Amino acid sequence: MGELNHKQPIYPPIILPSPMILVYSLGGSILAGRDAESLKGYAHALKELAEEHQVFVVVGGGKIAREYIAKARALAASEAFCDLLGIGATKMNAMLLIAALGRAAAPEPAESYAGALSASAGGKIVVLGGMAPGQTTDAVAALLAEYVGADRLIVATSVEGVYSADPEIDPGAKKFDKMTAKDLVRLAMETEMKAGSRSPVDPLAAKILERSRIPAAVVYGGEVENLKRGAEGGHSGTEIS
Amino acid sequence: MGELNHKQPIYPPIILPSPMILVYSLGGSILAGRDAESLKGYAHALKELAEEHQVFVVVGGGKIAREYIAKARALAASEAFCDLLGIGATKMNAMLLIAALGRAAAPEPAESYAGALSASAGGKIVVLGGMAPGQTTDAVAALLAEYVGADRLIVATSVEGVYSADPEIDPGAKKFDKMTAKDLVRLAMETEMKAGSRSPVDPLAAKILERSRIPAAVVYGGEVENLKRGAEGGHSGTEIS
Amino acid sequence: MGELNHKQPIYPPIILPSPMILVYSLGGSILAGRDAESLKGYAHALKELAEEHQVFVVVGGGKIAREYIAKARALAASEAFCDLLGIGATKMNAMLLIAALGRAAAPEPAESYAGALSASAGGKIVVLGGMAPGQTTDAVAALLAEYVGADRLIVATSVEGVYSADPEIDPGAKKFDKMTAKDLVRLAMETEMKAGSRSPVDPLAAKILERSRIPAAVVYGGEVENLKRGAEGGHSGTEIS
Amino acid sequence: MGELNHKQPIYPPIILPSPMILVYSLGGSILAGRDAESLKGYAHALKELAEEHQVFVVVGGGKIAREYIAKARALAASEAFCDLLGIGATKMNAMLLIAALGRAAAPEPAESYAGALSASAGGKIVVLGGMAPGQTTDAVAALLAEYVGADRLIVATSVEGVYSADPEIDPGAKKFDKMTAKDLVRLAMETEMKAGSRSPVDPLAAKILERSRIPAAVVYGGEVENLKRGAEGGHSGTEIS
Amino acid sequence: MGELNHKQPIYPPIILPSPMILVYSLGGSILAGRDAESLKGYAHALKELAEEHQVFVVVGGGKIAREYIAKARALAASEAFCDLLGIGATKMNAMLLIAALGRAAAPEPAESYAGALSASAGGKIVVLGGMAPGQTTDAVAALLAEYVGADRLIVATSVEGVYSADPEIDPGAKKFDKMTAKDLVRLAMETEMKAGSRSPVDPLAAKILERSRIPAAVVYGGEVENLKRGAEGGHSGTEIS
Amino acid sequence: MGELNHKQPIYPPIILPSPMILVYSLGGSILAGRDAESLKGYAHALKELAEEHQVFVVVGGGKIAREYIAKARALAASEAFCDLLGIGATKMNAMLLIAALGRAAAPEPAESYAGALSASAGGKIVVLGGMAPGQTTDAVAALLAEYVGADRLIVATSVEGVYSADPEIDPGAKKFDKMTAKDLVRLAMETEMKAGSRSPVDPLAAKILERSRIPAAVVYGGEVENLKRGAEGGHSGTEIS
C-alpha cells in the first residue's frame, strides 16, 4: 500500500499540462492563525500561480471555528449546528484571503459549485469556504475539483504528507511518497475507525479522488513554496494518483 | 459486532417518549417507482404518525436519478455534476410525496436544516431531498436528525436490515437485530472498501449516528407498516443504539 | 391566413444578420427520451451554431414531466402544483443538455431572464427550463427572445410545422410555409378553444411573437439538422414573420 | 353563451362553505390611484373577511406601472423588460396594501406560491404582486387559487362584470349574470383576437378557472362592498361556475 | 440637555404595557468574549423575558470582528469590505446566542426585517446580526424596533449609560439619567465629530429613535440583570424618551 | 471650513488617472421625473464615460418614492417600512435607467456590493438602487465607492454644490468651491441637527468619504454635462478632497 520514501522526491514526475485547472484545499490551520504579512505571502504565491493556471481555493475554519464550536457544544448545540458554525468560520477566512488577493480574486466566497465555475471567468481566483454540514473542506475541495474538471488537487495540511500511522503517536510512521487513491481511501477509513485519530485526508475526499481519478498532492502547508510545488512538482509530500 | 438474530424481535424494547421527533430516510427505491395508490398508503402512514409525533422525511432519488445520471455519465459529466442531477431527482420525489401528503405537509421541500425546522411549526410534516454533492440522503437524514434533536431516525431501505455481509452474494449473511453505532460505522466502512458492494447505511450517516448517539432503526421500506414499527417498535430490521 | 405549401421551401429567404442572437425552444419530446449518443448530436449542432451566433436554449419537460404530473394529479395535487413539478422536470432536462454541451454552456440553468443574459457573456450557450406555472416553455422561449433582443426564435417540435388543422386527425390538414404572427395567434387560440386539441405553438408564445415582431421558425425537432436550418434557412417547417 | 341579466342578481345562490379560502385579484386601477383614506376602507373590508376566511390578495400595477412602462418603451426596452417593470410596480402596490392592513397581513409580498401558502399560517392575509413576465395579475390570482385550493376567486375590476362586448364601444353590450368558465375562455380569446380590445379576465386566467373548476366572481372593484359581496354573495357582477 | 443624576434611579417610572415588544442591542463586547456558562446566563434572562414579551436581539461583532478587520485593513481591504467581515462576525455571534437559547429561538439569524417579524411567530426569540455596511448593530436594532413597532429598545453597552463626555477621558463626565432622543442625536453627533471619540449610541440609531419616538434605555450590559431592568424598569443607565 | 468661491472653478485641478473607476449618485430628483428623451441624454453621457472609465450609478427614489411613502405614513406604516418602499422605488428608477442604457448596462440592478463588482466585468455600467433601510442612496454610493476602490464619487444633486447654509432660506449662503471631507462631515451633521433642513450630502456619506479619503464632487445634476465635468473636471460645484 503506497511507496515509502526516504529521500527527497521530485513529484510529480509526469509531464503536466499547462495551463492547469488547480484546486487548493488550505486547511484552517494553514491560514487562520496567520498575520497579515504572512497572508500576503500566500496570496502572492496564489496570484503567481493564477497568472498561468486557473486557481480555486477552499479554506478551512481553523482556530475561530474550534473556539465557537467548543462554546456551542458546551451550550448543548447539535453537531450539525456546530458544522454550520464552522462553515461560518470558513467564510470569514475565505473573505480574509479574498482581501489578501485583492482584484485577483472574485469578490466574495462562492456559494455553489456552479457559482465557483462562473466566477472563475476572466481568470479570477475563486475562494470558497465549507458548503454543507457533515463535509470537511477537503471534501468540498475534492468535489469542486471534480466539478471544474481540475487537473490537480493540492491539499495543504499541517503535516508533511500521508503517513502509514500518526507520526505524533508512532515514531516508526513512514511518509508515503506516492500512493493510489484506492490505498488512500483504505488508509483514511482505517484511521477514522480508530478512536481519536484523524486522517490527513478525510475518507469522503479520498473516495472522490478515487471515483474521479483526480491526481492530488498532500503537502505541508506551513511553507508557502509548497503551494507551487504541489501544483508543478518538487514537493516532498505525498502524491496521489 | 452486533447481535445476530433468528427469531422475530420486538424492537425497540425500551420505553419511548411520546410525542417523539422522528426523521425518516426513505430511499429512492422505496418511493420512486410507486404508483399513486401506493404513495397514498405511505402518505397515510406518515400522516397517522404526524398526529402524534413531529415527522421529517428525507427522500432519495431512485430510478429517475439513476437514469439521468447514467446519461450524464455517458456525456462525460463529472460525478459532482451527477450528484447535483441526483439532488434534482430527489426534489421531484419530495414534491410527489408532498402532493400525497396534501395539507399535512409543508408546501415545498426544505432547502436547509434551519428551513426544515422552521417549516415544522404547526405540526406540518417536512419533506426534504438531497442537500449537497457527495452526500447520500441517508447522511442528510442523519444530519437533520442531529439538527432537530430527533428521538429516532428510521432508515427505510430495500433490504430487511443490516447484514453481516451482502445477502444477495453471501447466503450465509446474518441480519443483526441490534448493533451499536460504532459497529455500524466499522461495518459500513469495511463494506465500502470492497469493490462493488454498498452498505445499507452509508459510512457518513453511520458516523453521524455515532457522534450524536441518535437511536436508529434500519427497516425494510417495502412494507408501509414498517414506517410505524420503525418508530414505535415491533419491526424486524436492525436497531442501532 | 398563411400560405399553404406543397414544395420544399428555402426559408428564410431574407438576408439574415450574422452573428445572430438565437433562442431555441426544444420541446420535451425532442430531448427528454433521447440516449446519450443522440443528445451529443444535438449538443454538437448547438455548439457549431454557438461558434458564430449567441445561442439560448429553453427545454421542455417531456416524458418525466408527464409521468410525475400524472401521479401528482392522481394524488389530487392542484394543476399549479403540477406545473411546478413540470418545471422541476425541465430543469433536469436542462442540466442534461448542459452535461452534453460541456464547457460550451453556462454551468447551470438560468433562473431569470436577466440571469440568462448575464450568463451568456463570453459566448456561453445558456440553457433554461420552465420559469412559472401557467406558462409553457415555448412561452418562456418567446419571452426570452424578447428580453435578449433575439434575431430569431426557433421552435423545434414533434410535428413538421404549423398546420391548418391537426394532421393526426384531419388528413386534409395543410402545413403553412409561412404565416404572420397575427395569423398564428388566431390559429393557436382557435385550436385551444377546441376540446382535446393543442396548438404546436401556444397562444401566449404566439402573442409574444406578435407584440414584439420576432421572426420565428417552427420546425420538426426530430432531425438535428433542423436546428441549423431553422436559424439560417433551408428548413421545411413554418416561417413566422 | 352565458346568461344575460337585466335585474339585480343575488349571487352566488349556492350554499357556500365557511370559512372559505378566498383569492382576490385587485386590478391596479382599483388600488393604485387611491388615497390613504380610501385604502383604509379596502383594508378594513379585507380584515373583516379575514376574521372568518383565509384571504389572499393579488394586486395589479395600475398607473405607476403604465407610466414607467411607457417611458421604458420609449427607450426601446423589450416588452419582457416592461413586464418586469410592471411587476416592480405591483410589488410597490402590494407593500402599500400591506401597510394599510398592518399586523393583519404577512409583512412582505410573497415571492412564490408555496411562500404565499406558508405565510398564511396563523390567519395572516397574504398579499402578492405579479410573478412572471407574460402573465397578468389575474392569471397569478387564478394560479394561486389553484395552488391554495381556493373556494372562490374574486376578480375586482374597473367594469361591472363580463359583457358580451366592450360596453364603452358597443352600447348594446349586455352584462352576463353568470357564465361557464368555458364560455369565459371563448369570450376572452375572441376579445383578445380583436385589435385594441381587452377582456376583463385575460385568457390564461380564464383557462385556469376552466381547468380547475374554481368558482369565480367578476365584480366592480370601485365599490369596497363588492369585496365581501363577491365572496359571500349579493354582487351584481358576473358569476363564473 | 438631559438630566444629570447622582442617585439610583428607578426607570422607567411610567406605566409599561405588558406584554411588550422588546428589541435588544447587545454590543459585541457584551457577548463575544463570554464563556458558555456566562452565555447561558444571558440566554436564561432572555428566555424569562420571552415568556412574557416578544423579544428580538441584535448582536454585535466584538473581538472576532476587530481581529479580522484589523487583518483585512492591513491587507488594504476597503472599509466597506471590512464592514462585511464585521457582519460575518455578528452572524457567528448570533448563531452562538441561538445555540444558548435553544428551542426558545428561531433557528437561524434573520436576514431581513420582514424575515425577523415572520420568524417571531409563535413567540420565538429572533436573533439578528448586522445587516448592511455603514451601519452599526445599534442602528439595525433601532430600525428593527421601528419595523416591528417595538415598545422599547434596550441598548446594552460596555458603559453605564450616556455621559456628558467620555468618562474614560474626562473624570468630570456626568451620566444622564434621562434625556430626549433629540438631545441624544445632538450629543452623538458632537461626539462623533471629535477625533477618536465614539458615542455609546451611534448618530443614526439616535436619529431613528428620534424620528419614531421609540422609548429606549442605555444600560450596562456586563450585568445580566440589566436586560430585565432595561425593559421593565429599575436600571441605573440612561432612559431615552 | 472650506473655501468659498465666487468665480468659475476648473475642478479637479489635479492630474486624474485614466481610466478611472467612477461612482455616480444620481438623486431621485435628477432622474425620476424626466421623460424618455431626457433620460436618453443622461444615458448617452454615461455611455460616453463608460467608453473610457468603469462606471457605477446609484439612483435615488424621487417623486414616486415620496408619493408612496406619504401614503404609507398616512396608513401608520413605520419609518423603516417606508424606507423599504423607498428602496422599491429606487429599483424602479434603476430599471428605467438600465432601459435607457441598453446593452451598455448590466441587465438588472445589483443587489449587493460584491454583485455590483462582478457585474461590472466586461465594462458594463452597473446600476443600483437603495440597499438598506436607514441609508440614503448617497451613502450607498459612498460605500460602493469604497468597495470598488473608486477614483472619484460624483454626487449629482438638485443644488449647485455644498453651501454654508441652505441657499433657499439664507440668501447670504455661500457655495464652497472645495472643502475637506472632515469639514463636510461637520457641516452635514450641523445641518441635520437643525429641524427641517437637509444637507446636500448626508452625514453617513460624508463620513465614509472621510474615512476612505475618496475624492468627490457635488454637482448640479440638472445639467447632463455635469456628469462628465464632475468626473473629469470643469464643474462649478464643490470638490471634496
Q: Contact A27/A89 with Cβ under 8 angstroms? A: no
**Residue of C13 and E164 predicted with greater confidence:** E164
Out of A140-144, C31-35, C104-108, F126-130, pick the least confident. C31-35
Return the residue matching grid coordinates 503517513. Answer: A163
Q: Does B108 touch chain D (CB under 8 A)?
A: yes
Mean pLDDT of chain F: 91
Q: Contact F180/F149 with Cβ under 8 angstroms? A: no
CB contact under 8 A, C134 and D208: yes
A37 chain-E contacts, CB cut-off 8 A: 74
Hey, what amino acid is at A49? L
The answer, yes or no, to whether residue E48 has pLDDT greater than 60, is yes
Q: What is the pLDDT of residue B9?
A: 54
E167 is in an annotated binding site: no
Contacts of B171 (CB under 8 A, 6+ apart): none
The answer, yes or no, to whether residue A9 has pLDDT greater than 80, is no
Q: Which helix (H) or strand (E) holds F22?
A: strand F21-26
Interface probe with B: pick from E108, E111, E127, most Cβ of B within 10 Å: E108
C82 chain-D contacts, CB cut-off 8 A: none
A114 chain-C contacts, CB cut-off 8 A: 107-108
A143 chain-B contacts, CB cut-off 8 A: 80, 83, 133-134
Out of E37-46, F87-96, F185-194, pick the least confident. F185-194
Percent of chain D topping pLDDT 70? 93
D98 chain-E contacts, CB cut-off 8 A: none
For A166-191, write each residue's pLDDT tens digit.
888 888 889 999 999 999 999 998 88
Cα distance from A168 to chain E (closest Cα, Å)? 31
- Closest by Cβ to F99, choosing from D75, D95, D96: D75
The answer, yes or no, to whether residue D10 has pLDDT greater than 60, is no
For the segment A86-107, the average pLDDT, to the nearest whole number, is 97
Q: Which three cell numbers stand for residue E172?
A: 468630570
Provide the CATH number for the domain around residue E94. Answer: 3.40.1160.10
CB contact under 8 A, D83 and C143: yes
CB contact under 8 A, A36 and E74: yes
Cα distance from C108 to chain A (closest Cα, Å)? 6
Percent of chain E topping pLDDT 70? 93
- Closest by Cβ to D189, choosing from C134, C144, C193: C193
Measure the CA–CA gap between B96 and D1, rounded to whole angstroms: 38
- pTM assigned to the model: 0.94
Q: Contact A229/A235 with Cβ under 8 angstroms? A: yes
Mean pLDDT of chain C: 91
The answer, yes or no, to whether residue F2 has pLDDT greater than 60, is no
Out of C225-229, D31-35, E114-118, F4-8, pick the least confident. F4-8
Measure the CA–CA gap between E225 and F4, rounded to whole angstroms: 54
Model confidence band, residue C24 (pLDDT cutoffs 50, 70, 90): very high
Q: Which three cell numbers stand for residue D172?
A: 348594446
**Residue of D31 and E10 predicted with greater confidence:** D31
Closest C-alpha to B9, from B139, B113, B160: B160
The DSSP call for residue C108 is: S
The three state secondary structure string of C35-68 is: CHHHHHHHHHHHHHHHHHCEEEEEECCHHHHHHH
Which residues of chain F from 52 to 91 reach within 8 Å of chain E, CB to CB? 78-81, 83-84
Q: Does F185 touch chain E (CB under 8 A)?
A: yes
Interface probe with D: pick from B108, B120, B126, B128, most Cβ of D within 10 Å: B108
Cα distance from F52 to chain C (closest Cα, Å)? 20
- Closest by Cβ to A76, choosing from E71, E76, E102: E102
CB contact under 8 A, A89 and E84: no
Model confidence band, residue F193 (pLDDT cutoffs 50, 70, 90): confident
Measure the CA–CA gap between D196 and C188, rounded to whole angstroms: 19
CB contact under 8 A, C85 and B95: yes
Q: Are strands A176-179 and A3-4 parallel, antiparallel or unpaired?
A: antiparallel
CB contact under 8 A, A95 and E74: no
For the segment A19-24, the average pLDDT, to the nearest whole number, is 96
Q: Contact C230/C26 with Cβ under 8 angstroms? A: no
The DSSP call for residue D235 is: B
Q: Contact B205/B218 with Cβ under 8 angstroms? A: no
State the alpha helices, DSSP H only, in chain A. 28-31, 36-52, 62-74, 79-101, 113-119, 137-148, 181-193, 203-212, 225-232
What is the count of structural domains for chain D? 1
Percent of chain F topping pLDDT 70? 93
Cα distance from B46 to chain A (closest Cα, Å)? 25
For A160-172, write each residue's pLDDT tens digit.
999 998 888 888 8
Query: What is the extent of the structural domain holding C153?
Result: 3-240
For D146-181, write each residue's pLDDT tens digit.
999 999 999 999 989 999 988 888 888 899 999 999
The DSSP annotation for E145-182 comes to HHHHT-SEEEEEESSSS-BSS-TTT-TT--BEEEE-HH
For C160-185, write each residue's pLDDT tens digit.
999 998 888 888 889 999 999 999 99
Task: Give backbone dihedrals phi and psi of A238, rounded to 5 degrees, phi first.
Answer: -115, 130
Q: Does F40 touch chain D (CB under 8 A)?
A: yes
F121 chain-C contacts, CB cut-off 8 A: 121
Q: For chain E, how far is it from start to end, CA to CA, in angstroms?
A: 13
Query: Which sign does the torsion angle of CA D231, D234, D235, D241 carry?
Result: positive
b/e per residue E218-232 (b: at least 16 CB within 10 A): bbbbeebebbbbbbb
The answer, yes or no, to whether residue C90 has pLDDT greater than 80, is yes
For E90-132, write each residue's pLDDT tens digit.
999 999 999 999 999 999 999 999 999 999 998 999 999 999 9
A102 chain-E contacts, CB cut-off 8 A: 75-76
Model confidence band, residue D192 (pLDDT cutoffs 50, 70, 90): confident
Q: What is the pLDDT of residue F169?
A: 82
Q: Which helix (H) or strand (E) holds D142?
A: helix D137-148
Out of A139-143, A195-199, F124-128, pick the least confident. A195-199
Model confidence band, residue F170 (pLDDT cutoffs 50, 70, 90): confident
Q: Contact E39/E100 with Cβ under 8 angstroms? A: yes
- Closest by Cβ to C89, choosing from B40, B43, B92: B92
Q: Contact E57/E93 with Cβ under 8 angstroms? A: no
Q: Are strands E238-240 and C152-157 parallel, antiparallel or unpaired?
A: unpaired
Measure the CA–CA gap between F71 and D33, rounded to whole angstroms: 11
Closest C-alpha to E201, from E135, E156, E138, E137: E138
The answer, yes or no, to whether residue E1 has pLDDT greater than 70, is no
Interface probe with A: pick from B21, B58, B138, B189, most Cβ of A within 10 Å: B189
Cα distance from D146 to chain B (closest Cα, Å)? 13
CB contact under 8 A, C108 and A114: yes
CB contact under 8 A, F122 and C118: no
B80 chain-A contacts, CB cut-off 8 A: 113, 143-144, 146-147, 208
Contacts of F167 (CB under 8 A, 6+ apart): F159, F160, F173, F175
For the segment F110-136, the average pLDDT, to the nearest whole number, is 96
Q: Does A127 touch chain E (CB under 8 A)?
A: no
The answer, yes or no, to whether residue F127 has pLDDT greater than 60, is yes
For the segment C106-134, the average pLDDT, to the nearest whole number, is 96
CB contact under 8 A, F106 and C118: yes
The answer, yes or no, to whether residue E235 has pLDDT greater than 60, is yes
Which residue on chain B is closest to C91 by alpha carbon? B88
Q: Which three cell numbers stand for residue D158?
A: 374597473
Closest C-alpha to D54, from D134, D118, D109, D133: D118
B117 chain-E contacts, CB cut-off 8 A: 107
The answer, yes or no, to whether residue D32 has pLDDT greater than 80, is no
The answer, yes or no, to whether residue A158 has pLDDT greater than 60, is yes
- Closest by Cβ to D85, choosing from F92, F100, F102: F92
CB contact under 8 A, C108 and A121: no
Measure the CA–CA gap between D103 and D121, rounded to whole angstroms: 13
Q: Contact C54/C123 with Cβ under 8 angstroms? A: yes
Which residue on chain F is closest to A99 by alpha carbon? F147
The answer, yes or no, to whether residue C193 has pLDDT greater than 90, is no
CB contact under 8 A, B107 and D121: no
Q: Are strands C176-179 and C238-240 parallel, antiparallel or unpaired?
A: parallel
Contacts of D136 (CB under 8 A, 6+ apart): D60, D130, D202, D204, D205
Task: Give backbone dihedrals phi and psi of E63, rounded to 5 degrees, phi first.
Answer: -60, -45
E121 chain-D contacts, CB cut-off 8 A: 121-122
Helix (H, G, I), strand (E, B) or coil at B64: helix
Contacts of C15 (CB under 8 A, 6+ apart): none
Model confidence band, residue E194 (pLDDT cutoffs 50, 70, 90): confident
- Number of residues that make up chain E: 241
* Touching chains D and F? (3+ Cβ pairs < 8 A): yes
D107 chain-E contacts, CB cut-off 8 A: 113-114, 117-118
Q: For chains A and B, what is the number of CB pairs under 8 angstroms? A: 77
Q: What is the pLDDT of residue E192?
A: 79
Measure the CA–CA gap between D127 and D109, rounded to whole angstroms: 5
Q: What is the pLDDT of residue A14?
A: 62
- Closest by Cβ to D114, choosing from B108, B121, B122: B108
- Closest by Cβ to C189, choosing from D134, D144, D193: D193
E91 chain-A contacts, CB cut-off 8 A: 88
Q: Does E143 touch chain F (CB under 8 A)?
A: yes
Q: What is the pLDDT of residue A195?
A: 62
For A60-78, write each residue's pLDDT tens digit.
999 999 999 999 999 999 9
Which residue on chain A is closest to E74 by alpha carbon? A36
For the segment A21-44, the average pLDDT, to the nearest whole number, is 92
Q: At what angle do helices A203-212 and A181-193 cross, to 10 degrees?
A: 160
Beta pairing partners, B25 = B58, B155
For the segment E62-84, the average pLDDT, to the nearest whole number, is 96
Binding residues of D for ATP: 28-29, 62, 66, 157, 163, 166
Q: What is the pLDDT of residue F14?
A: 61
For the segment C127-152, the average pLDDT, to the nearest whole number, is 97
Chain centroid to Cα B54, Å, comes to: 16
Measure the CA–CA gap between B167 and B195, rounded to whole angstroms: 16
Q: What is the pLDDT of residue A127?
A: 98
CB contact under 8 A, A107 and F114: yes
